[in-house]
Amino acid sequence: MATFVETYRAVVAPMDCDHLGHMNVQHYFAAVSDGMFSMMARLGLSPDEIRRSQRSFAVVHAETDFHAELRAGDLIVLESTIAKIGEKSATFQHRLKNATTGAVAMTTDFTCVYFDLEARRAAAVTADVRAAAAMFIGEGGQER
């Protein structure tokens, strides 16, 4: 089983909610975006390292399911892992939960390419990033 780690925590603000009374979809993805930077730091891709190496993961595909509403005042937590890593890509899994009830509000898989920020194209995942990612990949994960 994959190892999930906390990558983001916040409280849903009233301004995060839409006229339906629940957190608007844009804020779900903002939480995951912030969580991705936390995951990359765990892989050795801190902001300084991204600037130095000009390499980062960039989302090219997302599959998302919404399971439960979140409302103003809810404490939320994002948990993330890596499902698989390939030669030039990785699939990150995220689940956004109501931290008080434990209910999963949203799950999403982000397929990302390891991106060369200067050449603006996919690059081979480095050995050090691959080694750091291995600690997350469970029995169901795979290298390809």
- Residue 144 within any structural domain of the chain: no
- Residue 62 within any structural domain of the chain: yes
1, pLDDT greater than 80: no
- DSSP per-residue letters across 94-108: EEEEETTT--EEEEE
Domain assignment of residue 106, given as a range? 5-139
Residue 2: its pLDDT value, please? 81
The residue that leads in pLDDT, 144 or 23, is: 23
Residue 138: its pLDDT value, please? 63
- Residue 24 within any structural domain of the chain: yes
Q: Which residue has the tokens 């000009």?
A: 54
Residue 127: its pLDDT value, please? 97
Contact 65, 47 (CB under 8 A): no
128, pLDDT greater than 80: yes
- Residue 9 within any structural domain of the chain: yes
Q: To the nearest whole number, what is the mean pLDDT of the chain?
A: 94
Q: How many domains does the chain have?
A: 1
Tokens linked to 110: 């982000």
Report how far residue 87's alpha carbon sits from residue 107's, in angstroms, rounded to the nearest whole number. Answer: 25
User: What is the dihedral sign for C-alpha 16, 17, 23, 27?
Assistant: negative
pLDDT one-digit tens code per residue, 20-56: 999 999 999 999 999 999 999 999 999 999 999 999 9
For 33, list phi and psi in degrees, rounded to 5.
Answer: -60, -45
Q: Is 121 helix (H, G, I), strand (E, B) or coil?
A: strand
